[in-house]
Structure formats: structure tokens, C-alpha cells
Structure 1
């Protein structure tokens, strides 16, 4: 069953707009008993589920009226404030994965690696992250056992509410993980902080790493077993995946390797019910909530969850009218395309051998030496708004394709990388078998299998590009491999020149937005 976000969020405009601002005034009860305030809202056990829905909705929606209107995050175009859209911009468009012809605010600086602390896209991502954290803190605070007992919530309802609380804790940990990965040391607020206007303290990267780690490990006993929650909601495998990703990048975050821990948690996922879908394309179709191998998909729905971000932005911007986009359920924008270095990762770009190569080259050039010319660069056909039986999605203007935020193949490749980086408890033969399972799915057989002598870290980095292109992985991977700023690996327009150039090392993360630095004297900028 796919999570129906619009039904879940029904009535949440009042909660989001007014609840947090009212929680210090719980003694004020309106004379009109039909009026809902923070003093009475949580008396209804269903309210906790609605708030959880708003937190999930914050990953795919941008306001209270979809696809636009009454937006959550001010100071930025509403469509660009979408969580996944901003995350995708910062993770893929800053690398060799993609290039956009439009000059919307913030985009030119991101894709030429020339951003500053005033970048609009980074600002939108930063405030979206902390908006999510604020919503999660609200639910976690109001669902403590003491609060529930004080409201006289029945024991039978408490069990459900404690489950919602665990999911909210995961979603908060996920946002803090993205904050750590993108920005490093950031402001830190939990449910234990007072509600209202105050200036948060900045947490070190080491302490934030430890906090995320502790939260996710505690959630191992609180979240549903793998596969025991509806599509679009999390189970314990999601916690294992984020732990594995946290540990994989530990040397970047805290200068301490944690590769044995990567192996431990990626193996938990591999040994769970989550397997590789036999057809790679199924992961990017309108009914991908039924595909094997998606551990957490961010819900996009052409009827119930409308926005200008998520897979709507990714798919529509990739397709142009000359690609017969309508047949694939897509209203073509024609703005995004691949840079040459992504194309070169594949044996051939046609998909005849490696079926993951989904590119359109007719009347295109391989290079993107002119940024503003869409036909300079091959188009990406990975996301298709049709179902696995060929039916069109519900709306050509807004995709039904869930964004595959966490998926099983990542665990397979993380295991292999951890072994190559010295993890104990695994074997190179098992690492090779996991890599070849991923490639057998891609090639439809053993033709793409590699030998043990070919299993190197450089191979893993390229394989991750082939497997996860346009899924928001690349910047993090390149930083971990010391390739993002290095002059040893260049791509078109890296550093603002077509041939590419090295970047200062502080570009391995983004600066805290200048607006927050100026507003909060507790914050210090790192490197910018």
C-alpha cells in the first residue's frame, strides 16, 4: 500500500502554522470549543499520526497547498525549496552527473562550483532541513509517556503513538545526517529545548555524528521489522542503511575510519527481506513503490502529492519534446542533461550492454561546452512516468514516481567498499559476489561480471556512478574518495571553466547560509 500523503496531511495547515508558536501558552483555552489549538490538538490520538504525516510530507511537498501556495520555507522559490529537489541540486548538479541550462537563482553557482554563503539553493536546503527537525521535535516532545499519561491517552492508542514517535526520531536523524554531510557543524536543537525564539548552540561534527549514531542504534529496537511498514514509511532497515552511510563517510566527518561498522550494518540489510529487483528500470517507474530493493521511497503522486520538486523536477527537466516524452507520461521541460564524464562511465551509452545506460543522443552532442544549449549533452531517460505494465502515470505534469532515497544496491556496494578499505569480518570473495550481483542485474546475465583483480576502489567509485546516477549520491561519494576538489579528477565546468580545475578544499562542504550566521552569534563559519 502506498502512503497517501494528501489524506494524511488533511487539516495540517493549522497545526504547522500555529501549533509550535502556541505551545508555551497551553493554559489559554478558547471559549469556542470547536476551535483547535495546541492545548487541545493532542488530546485526539489521531493528531499524532497527522503530525507524522506532515513530517513525511516535508520530504516531498513544499507547503499547505500543492503543488504551490502557502509555502513552508520563505525566501526562496517554492518549487526550489522542495527537500529532494534542493538535495539533488547540491549532490548531483555540483558534479559530473548533470548540468542545467536555466539560470534560476543559485543554480549557475552550484553547477560551476562557485557558490557562496548567500546561495539560494543552499539556503533552501538548510532551512528545509531545520524545518523538518522542528516538526519532528514537536511530535517527539508531545508524545512522551509523561505527556500521554497527562492527557489520559488510552494504552491501546499509546502503542501506535510510540511507533509514530520512533519514525519521527528516524526522520529527525535523517535530516541531521544530511546537515552533517552537507554543512558539517550546524545549530542543534532537540525536543528537550524550550519552544520559542532562542539562539541554538552549534554542535561539533564529532558530537553530531555521535548523536545520529546513538539515535539510530536506539531505533533498532523501536522501528518495525524490514518490510513491516507501508511503502513510503520507514522500518528498521532504513536505520541500518543510514548507519552504514554514516560510518562509510566517518573519515570525512570525524577523521576516524568506521569501515567494520559499515560492513556490519550493510550486511544486516543484505540479509533482510530487501533484495535487488530483477529489472533496474522498475526502480524508476510510476509504480516503483511495488519494486524490490527500495527501502525508503519519498512519495510522489500526480494526484495526492503535487509539487514542482522531487521526481517531477528530475524527470520533466530531463526530457524534451523531441524524445516523445508524452508516451512516457511526462510533460517535458527540457532543461537538464548529463555531462560527458557520466556518459564515459559506461561501455556504451545505448544500454545494449549495461541496461542502466538510459541516454538519448539523437541530435545531441556528447559534450556540454555551451551550458545554455540543451542539445549539448545527452539527455537522461532514467525516470519514466509509466508503470511496469506500460500504463501512463496519473498526471503528466506531476510524477507518480517515488524518489528512491534508500535502496538495497547501496548496501551491496558499501559492503564491497568497506572490505577494500580494510573492514574486518568480511571477505574479498563475498565483496566480489555482491558487486557482480549488482552488475548481473544491469547486464541481464554474467557478461558484466568482473574478476577479483578488477575490484578496486576506483572501480567502486565508477560503479556507484553507473548504479546511482541522478539519485543524489555523487557529491558525497566524490568527497569520500578525495575527488571532489582534487585536480586529479576533472569534469566539464568544474570550477567554472569548461576543462575543469581544482577547487579549494573548503568546497567539500557548503557554508552555513549568511542569513543564519548574521542572526545567530553562536554560529561560526567553517572555512568560507
Structure 2
């Protein structure tokens, strides 16, 4: 049984209170809205409506956990994973087209991502309005505004110039499209003006919520990619934001051997049932079939293999491209997440993948990934592994990168070495280069949703791979969906589409 209190559970409990017989009960549906949302319980209900957007679910909803949404769009357009069409006829071509940089404005994964993000902005706008109108405590208003900044950051990162609004009393066809740099300024100001109003509480009721440290993590991410968004680098500002989040007292979780881990190391506790508080800054709470889901392992393993391990069939979907897998050192504990060769269930995975789409990959072609080794409750629709949005290892590597980009490679070395040594590797023999940091980010953060952004920042996103030639510059942005253009005549499509 989990000990964390989550907002969605609070939301349910508030309305269960309506059925109790205590004469002193507060029956919230009889209260005026302003009074309700001004109460601590009502403020949490307003915020719960926004947080419910983050957990992954069917139909492309959520940040990560299910399929056909933001996570797939940003992970499979990079170099770390793809779902090939199979020669058996399984799997649609959308994922292979993402990997080959052949997506179109009509693609449903792009449309799903756009719709989810704008539904989330709408929810955040509503929460801000409810909380401000009710005179809720400033910490709750600040939390809603930080959530809105988070969703706009994801929109800015994927789509560039996008529709912008902070009040919901506007029709779709009236939404103005603003420049990416203007949205960047809004996001930075929204975070910096509200971050110090957020609680410093870690865990408990703030597991999976934006506290002060998670907001500084978001700010560091925005600054880290400022040159991509505005043309002006802000690496010194990124360092300052990381130093602020470090006041939360984070450290690398131990990575040593563990007999209780199905992958053999404590490192993999970072991807299990409850994210360790020492390293986790912001996580998605998952309870399969109740709150979100985590499909990543069941989607990767083949049917008979997953059946032999867990008692239900796998989907035989996601693979790790061979070139990505082969970059790992054999003594790197992070290589334990990959499966090749003979497996239980009479399955043998090969590293050789000859085609992604025409005619497609053989049934058992491709390296598989069990980084999120399923925890119960679990079934063929997913598992209850929580998902790390931000964890400290990411920000140690961002510190290292910022120092190198600012000409201080010597100061960067301890941070990258700490991540390497936790993984069982030797420290670097010399001061790190940007290439060292880029590779280490791939090793450490694969399948956590950061890779496309990293590849764009390090200028590798357009490089050719085994299944396509070099991509054109316009592929650094996704297209605005055709459905959005049809609904709003104010929108201009991104160049190249």
C-alpha cells in the first residue's frame, strides 16, 4: 500500500464526504464557488483538475505513461526508441514515420499532443481564475500559474509560435498566435514571479506536485534551451536556477548491487513503484487502471516473453535502435535495462533491424527495454511504475553542460563523474567536452522524455541514421495540426509544412 497522498485521492475523498452523517460536515456542493475554492480543500480540488492532465492515459492524454501522445512524439522522433511496423502486419506506420522524420500536419499523434496541451492550458486558466476569485492562499495561485507555465513550455518546445491565452472567455478562432520568444518571456516571468510563493515541502501531499524545487527545475530547463527558443543563450541563468533547486537537498540515489531488484541494482528503484525522495524532484503518480498507467515495458516485450515473466501478453512494440544500444559500455549498470538474445517464453531478440516500415521489422527484431520493470497492480494495459519528470541526475549533467558552454570545463568534471561513477564507470580521464556530456545524457536519461530536446540543443537532431538521410532544418519544430489551422484563421503554419 502506498503512503503518498495524492491530489486525485483528495478530490475523491472530498465528494465522498457528502454521504457522511456527521452534523458538522462541510457539504461542499452547497457552498458558493468563491467560498469553496478559497478553502484549502477547494483549492486542492481546483489544482487536482490540472494535475489530472499530466498522468498518461489512452487517447494521447498526458505527459507520459500511455501511448500516442506527447511522450511518443518527443521520444520516437529522437534516436532512443521506435515502434517499427512488423512483417506480421502489426503496428501502424506513425511511429516509424516519426523516427524517419516524415511526420505530417495531419498525423494523429501530433494532433493528440496539441489537443492535450491546450486542454491542459484551459484547465490551468480555470484553476487560476477560481483561485484568484476566491481569495485562495497565494501558494495555491502560484502553483496553478506554474502548472500553466509548464504546459506552455511544452508547447513552445514542440511547436514554436503558438496560440496564447490566459483567460478562457475567448473562442478558438479569436486566439492570437504569438512568437516563440514572446512566449519564452511570459514563461520565465510567470515562474520567477511565483516560485518563491511555493512550499518547500517534499513528499507526502507534495509528491507529484510543483513545490519550489520543481519550479526551479522547470526554470532551469527553460533557461537551458533559451538559445533554441530566442537565439540568446542563458547558461549562467540556468546554473543559478539549478543552484536554487539544490537548496531542496537532493542527491544521487545509490546505484549499487541489490538482490531485491529484478535488474540487480538499486539504481532501478528510480523507475519503480515510488520515486526515491533523495533524487526525484517531480514525478507522475501512477496506479494502473486508477490513476494513469505505465505501458513502457509491456509495450516493448513480445507476447510470449511478457506472458512468461508476468502472466500477461506483451505488445511486441517498442525497440531500442541498435546504434543507440551499442554506445553503452558493457560494465555500465544502465545497460541492464536492455534485453537481447534468448529470453523466457522461447523468444530471441536480435539486434538486426532491416526495415521500419516497408516491409517492416521481423517479429523479434530489435533490442527491448525493461527500465520500468513492471510493479503491481499491473496487467496487459500497463503497470504502476511512477514516472520521473525531473530528477537530480539530469540537473547535475545540466550543471556540467552549462559550465562547459561557459568555458569552465574543469568545474564541470565532478558533476558528470558523479553520474558516471554511480553507473559503475570510471571518472573521465580529462575535463569533459560537450560530446561527453551529450553521450552521458543519452545513457542516463533514455526513455524519460528528454532526448529530442537534447538532440536539438546539441545540433544532432537532423543528422542521418540507419533509416533516413539528413533531415531538413524545419523538422526541429512539429507542424501546427491541420485541424487547428482549420479552426483558427489567425494561425500561420511553421515553415516547411
TM-score strictly above 0.5: yes
Q: Aligned-pair distance for 1:252?
A: 0.8
CA contact (8 A) 2:214 2:282 kept: yes
Match of 2:20 in 1: none
Residue 209 of structure 1 is matched in structure 2 by 184
The two structures have a TM-score, normalised by structure 2, of 0.84
Report the Cα offset of residue 220 of structure 1.
2.0
CA contact (8 A) 2:213 2:246 kept: no
Structure 1 SS opposite 2:390: strand
Structure 1 residues 484 and 365: CA distance shift in structure 2, 3 A: same
> What is the 5 A alignment of 1:61-80?
62=57, 78-80=58-60
Corresponding residue number in structure 1 for 2:214: 238
User: Does 265-274 or 235-244 show the bigger shift?
Assistant: 265-274
Q: Residue 83 of structure 1 aligns to a residue in which SS? A: coil
CA distance in 1, matches of 2:409, 2:311: 43
Aligned partner of 2:426 in structure 1 is 448
Once the two structures are TM-superposed, the CA of residue 185 in structure 1 deviates from its matched residue by 0.6
Listed as ranges, the matches of 1:126-275 within 5 Å are: 126-144=114-132, 147-148=133-134, 158-159=136-137, 162-191=138-167, 194=169, 199-225=174-200, 227=202, 230-275=206-251
Residue pairs, 1:425-436, within 5 angstroms:
427-436=408-417
Query: Match of 2:367?
Result: 378
Which residue of the partner structure matches residue 489 of structure 2?
A: 521
The question of whether the paired residues in 2 share the 8 Å contact of 1:5 and 1:304 is answered with no
Match of 2:338 in 1: 359
Corresponding residue of 2:345: none
- The CA distance in 2 between the partners of 1:503 and 1:451, in whole Å, is 34
Rounded Cα–Cα distance in structure 1 between residues aligned with 2:392 and 2:310: 26
Distance 1:35 1:246 in 2: 38
The residue correspondences of 1:60-99 to structure 2 (distance < 5 A) are 60=55, 62=57, 78-84=58-64, 85=67, 86-99=69-82
1:464 matched residue in structure 2: 441
SS in 1 for 2:196: coil
**By how many angstroms is 1:237 displaced?**
1.2
CA distance in 2, matches of 1:420, 1:105: 40
Q: CA deviation at 1:523?
A: 1.1
Is the 8 Å Cα contact of residues 397 and 415 (structure 2) preserved in structure 1?
A: yes
Is residue 2:448 matched to residue 1:480?
no
C-alpha separation in 2, matches of 1:195 and 1:6: 28
Q: 1:508 — aligned with what?
A: 476
* 2: CA distance, partners of 1:287 / 1:100: 27
Is the contact made by 1:270 and 1:411 (CA closer than 8 Å) also made in structure 2? no
Q: Distance in 2 between matches of 1:213 and 1:128?
A: 22
Q: State the Cα deviation string for residues 416-472 of structure 1 (Å, max 9, x = none).
A: 11111116xxx43331001111111111xxx4211224x111111111110011111
Residue 332 of structure 1 deviates from its aligned partner by 2.1
325 and 223 in structure 1: CA distance in 2 versus 1, 3 angstrom threshold: farther
2:302: which partner in 1? Answer: 320
Where do 5+ consecutive residues of structure 2 fail to align? 16-26, 86-90, 256-266, 342-347
The answer as to whether partners of 2:403 and 2:411 remain within 8 angstroms in 1 is no
Output the CA distance in 2 between the equivalents of 1:450 and 1:328: 39
Q: 1:407 to 1:507 in 2, by over 3 A?
A: same
Provide closer, same or farther for how the CA distance between residues 320 and 3 of structure 1 changes in structure 2, counting only shifts above 3 A.
farther
Aligned-pair Cα RMSD in Å: 2.6
Other-structure match for 1:491? 465
**What residue number does 1:412 align with?**
396
SS of the residue corresponding to residue 177 of structure 1 reads helix
- Counterpart check, 1:294 vs 2:289: no
Q: Give the TM-score, by structure 1 length.
A: 0.79
Stretch of structure 1 that moved more, 405-414 or 367-376: 367-376
Contact 1:8 1:54 in 2 (8 A): no
